Amino acid sequence: MISNWGSALVRTFRGTSAPMTYALIGLCCLIFVLGPASGFVPSYGTGDTLLAAQRAYFRRWGVVPAELFAHPTREALTPVTALFIHGSWVHLLGNMLFLYVFGAMTEERLGRVEFTLFYLVCGYLALLGYAVANTGSEQSLVGASGAISAVLGAFLYLFPRARVTSLLPFLFFLPLRFPAWVVLPFWAALQWLAAGQAATGPGVAYLAHLVGFTLGFGYAWVRFGRTTRVGAAPATVPEGENQP
């Protein structure tokens, strides 16, 4: 998941022309419901049988760094398929909340086709970056966090003054509003600190978050330059994770 700081509230501003954001959310939800992690498909069995089916499913469609570099041709598409696979309801809902909050405004600025390509390419590179740093790992990496982190990075560049409403656990979950230029760099700093302390196994893929965030911000900077940054209506900050 994307996680670590606060929970999202409902966003005041919603994109009015962002069909790809909603299509990505719908597709991720549909794939999850039809997969073994949702618990909705009896054919996957129960107990140990279900756990075995989940492991096989994540290994087949997720990124396994050791397999990716041992069989690059066969595994080349797994950083794309992994973007649509989630390990639990919390994992799915956290990531989709982030995408819902930040994706629509970013899509409106980029346009449908460009946003979709941006999402897929940045997500691919974010997972690939994590795999490069963990080439010997046999654990499966799944989730949209790398791509969504790229959306956060682009959002920060494009809408730095957008107001983000967050619930801070260390302030008794009081709803407080901050501009995106405060919230998102703080989130990125937490990912950096967590990545430095993370174990070698995938766990929460903080490094993928950082790679995606950096790619997204860099792309928006190169694509739009300094003349198109906008102060936008209120937005929100969510929570997520990224592996089974």
* CB burial string 115-148: b at 16+ within 10 A, e below: bbebbbebbbbbbbbbbeebeebebbbbbbbbbb
Per DSSP bridges, beta strands 163-168 and 174-179 are antiparallel
Q: Is 209 annotated as catalytic?
A: yes
Beta bridge partners of 177: 165
As given in the structure block, the two tokens for residue 87 are: 């390990």
As given in the structure block, the two tokens for residue 222 are: 């190169």
Decide: 2 and 95 in contact? Cβ < 8 Å: yes
Phi, psi of 167 (to 5 degrees): -105, 120
- Rounded CA-CA distance 208/186 in Å is 17
- C-alpha dist (Å) from residue 194 to 119, 189, 199, 204, 224: 24, 9, 10, 9, 31
Query: Catalytic one among 3, 7, 88, 209?
Result: 209
As given in the structure block, the two tokens for residue 33 are: 């419901």
As given in the structure block, the two tokens for residue 121 are: 């390419």
How many residues make up the chain in this entry?
Answer: 244
Query: Catalytic one among 7, 88, 140, 145?
Result: 145
As given in the structure block, the two tokens for residue 138 are: 């046999």
Decide: 132 and 84 in contact? Cβ < 8 Å: no
Q: Is 166 annotated as catalytic?
A: no
- Rounded CA-CA distance 133/110 in Å is 30
- Residues with active-site annotation: 145, 209
